[in-house]
Amino acid sequence: MSKTEKISSPSTSAPDDGQRLLAPKGDLELSSKDQKDEVRDLESRKSLSEEDESCFLRHKFRYAILILTVLCLTFTRSNELSFNFTVICMNMNTTEGHKEPPVEMSISEISKIMGSGGLGALVSVMPLVHLLHNFGPRSVFSVLLFFSGLATIALGPLAKISPLWMLPGRIIQGFALSTVMPMTGAVSAEWAPLTEIGKFVTMLSAAGQLSQILTMPMSAFLCVESGWSSVYTAHGILAIIGSLGFFALYRNSAKNHPCITEREFEIISQGSKQRPRRGDSVPYWEIAKTKSVWAVWIAFLGNAIGFQLIVQFMPTFLNKVLSVPVRRTGSLSIIPPITQLLVKIIAGYASDQIPLTEKLKLRLFNSAAQIGCAMFLLPLGFIGIGDGNFAIVCFAASISCLGLVSCGSMKSATLIARGYTHFVMAVVQVIVCISMLFVPFMVAVIASENTIDQWRWVFFLVFLILVMTNTVFCVLCGAEPEPWALTQKK
């Protein structure tokens, strides 16, 4: 087949417009099986166009896929996050009434259990990239989320045997957690038109805030009203329902979905000539040698450490250091993620309107994110009991600043890597996992007694990390696609 030859259907010698749409953008040869699949998919979309309204959001079904994925990523994060809050009402020294016997855990055991989720994500993230590349997100993500739900339900009975028996369940939660960043890249690359990639990335990354908004108040309510084990049961059930819904509605390719019309597929596929086809080799070495990619990875190291400190230890800091009651801790803990979500959405739209060069905008937004977070964390080391409201203001301001990262280092990743964003984000996921292991270890070593003097050093160290990693990003960052991002392997 010549490079310019188009796919013809079995019943006609000349390709129609729909078949030209499905011809490979990168002028790559298709196997006979690929040709049959393309024709079948075309006929499916034509049939839908003619018969109409069996699917909702006609011509906009990609947004249903976006919402579904955001919900499932939220459940994935919520499962891993559930222990971070529930630990304060599982422990013996909680002063509020218990609906079931508490579990005695040492600082060392808590750190191991918190860190085990990150360990599971760390060891599975690179195999996961291989699985996603070969089998697609539909089956891989659905299975991992389903088993994450089962593992979360099992945490309650396991904790009653011994706290360390929770480790296998937490590791399984980590397996599912390792999908978050690669899924963000994979779904936005497959389902978003080039003109909407920024919106897709912003919304998919919002799962981090939505998981806190869901988990914190729900955990506080269930801890006090039904007992701490009900927190794990509720989160696990939501994850199982989400996994079944994802498997039922998602497809690995937009062109294979029965609810995607020919018109919508044309919108989605615009610019697809710069997207690698499944089976193309990933230019690992070229990516690893690129300075702008390292700028993204280093910036995310600082961002992840700041984010994990707030997400993992804000409830502990409020309850154990400032003596804020459990129910009020849950209520106050949803304020920071709500403000971050609002800031992230507003910034995502504003960044496209500011009349500055793209690279300058990346530097400004990333600096506002990381330097702003660092500045608002520092005062937390100088407050005391009774300052819970001021602490919430500082936490809310710091994590809200981190929401601007979606217009800084995260946006830079999509701009420079394009169709290989999923691999760049997979490495980001590794960095996030390392931070999940590092932060509990750092807190256990520096603030083992949960005194304000010890926490002062924690906040100061995170301040330095955020400032230094942002400086590296500003020097090395890029805003244009790298050469390997525009070249398809044949």
Given a cut of 70, is residue 247 above it in pLDDT? Answer: yes
61-485 CATH fold: Growth Hormone; Chain: A; (1.20.1250)
Choice among 26-40, 163-177, 291-305, 339-353 with the minimum mean pLDDT: 26-40
Copy the structure tokens of residue 211: 């998981």
Give CA–CA dist 239/399, Å, rounded. 25
The answer to whether 462 and 354 have CB atoms below 8 angstroms apart is no
Tracing tokens 């230890």 back to the chain, one arrives at 313
The answer to whether the Cα torsion of 156, 162, 167, 172 is positive or negative is negative
Copy the structure tokens of residue 230: 């009900």
Give CA–CA dist 203/73, Å, rounded. 11
Given a cut of 80, is residue 21 above it in pLDDT? Answer: no
Given a cut of 60, is residue 25 above it in pLDDT? Answer: no
What's the confidence (pLDDT) of residue 146? Answer: 97
277: number of CA atoms within 13 Å, CB side?
A: 15
Give CA–CA dist 42/288, Å, rounded. 38
Given a cut of 80, is residue 279 above it in pLDDT? Answer: no
Q: Is 331 exposed, middle or buried (0-12, 13-18, 19+ CB in 10 A)?
A: middle
Copy the structure tokens of residue 255: 């062109």
Copy the structure tokens of residue 109: 């055991």
Given a cut of 60, is residue 4 above it in pLDDT? Answer: no
Nearest one of 334, 315, 337 to 324, comparing CA atoms: 315
Of 439 and 384, the structure prediction assigns the larger pLDDT to 439
Q: How confident is the model at residue 276 (pLDDT cuts 50, 70, 90)?
A: low
Of 220 and 56, the structure prediction assigns the larger pLDDT to 220
What's the confidence (pLDDT) of residue 167? Answer: 94
Given a cut of 90, is residue 470 above it in pLDDT? Answer: yes
Q: What is the pLDDT of residues 36-48, one digit of tens each?
A: 545 555 554 454 4
- Non-local CB neighbours of 135 within 8 Å, separated by 6+ positions: none
Copy the structure tokens of residue 228: 């701490």
Tracing tokens 């020919």 back to the chain, one arrives at 262
DSSP string over 208-242:
HHHHHHHHHHHHHHHHHHT-THHHHHHHHHHHHHH
Tracing tokens 């920024």 back to the chain, one arrives at 198
- Non-local CB neighbours of 319 within 8 Å, separated by 6+ positions: 88, 325, 326, 329
Averaged pLDDT for residues 234-257: 92
Q: What angle do CA 370, 435, 177 make, to 5 degrees?
A: 110
Neighbouring C-beta atoms of residue 389, cutoff 10 Å: 10
Nearest one of 245, 231, 287, 331 to 69, comparing CA atoms: 245
Q: Report how far apart, in Å, the C-alpha atoms of 460 and of each of 268, 321, 455 are.
A: 46, 17, 9
Tracing tokens 């509020």 back to the chain, one arrives at 96
DSSP string over 128-188:
HHHHHHHH-HHHHHHHHHHHHHHHHHHHHHHHHH-GGGGHHHHHHHHHHHTTHHHHHHHHH
- Non-local CB neighbours of 329 within 8 Å, separated by 6+ positions: 85, 88, 220, 315, 318, 319
Given a cut of 50, is residue 63 above it in pLDDT? Answer: yes
Mean pLDDT score of the chain = 80
The answer to whether 99 and 226 have CB atoms below 8 angstroms apart is yes
Q: Report how far apart, in Å, the C-alpha atoms of 168 and of each of 41, 85, 163, 393 are.
A: 42, 19, 11, 36
**Three-state secondary structure call for residue 280:** coil
Given a cut of 90, is residue 242 above it in pLDDT? Answer: yes
Q: Report how far apart, in Å, the C-alpha atoms of 450 and of each of 84, 285, 297 are.
A: 16, 44, 31
What's the confidence (pLDDT) of residue 98? Answer: 54
Give CA–CA dist 347/164, Å, rounded. 42
Averaged pLDDT for residues 196-221: 83
Domain ranges of the chain: 61-485
Of 417 and 326, the structure prediction assigns the larger pLDDT to 417
Give CA–CA dist 316/319, Å, rounded. 5
What's the confidence (pLDDT) of residue 461? Answer: 95
What's the confidence (pLDDT) of residue 268? Answer: 77
Averaged pLDDT for residues 370-392: 87
The answer to whether the Cα torsion of 6, 11, 13, 17 is positive or negative is negative
Q: What is the pLDDT of residues 78-120, one digit of tens each?
A: 998 889 878 878 874 444 555 678 888 887 888 888 888 888 8
How big is the chain, counted in residues? 490
What's the confidence (pLDDT) of residue 2? Answer: 41
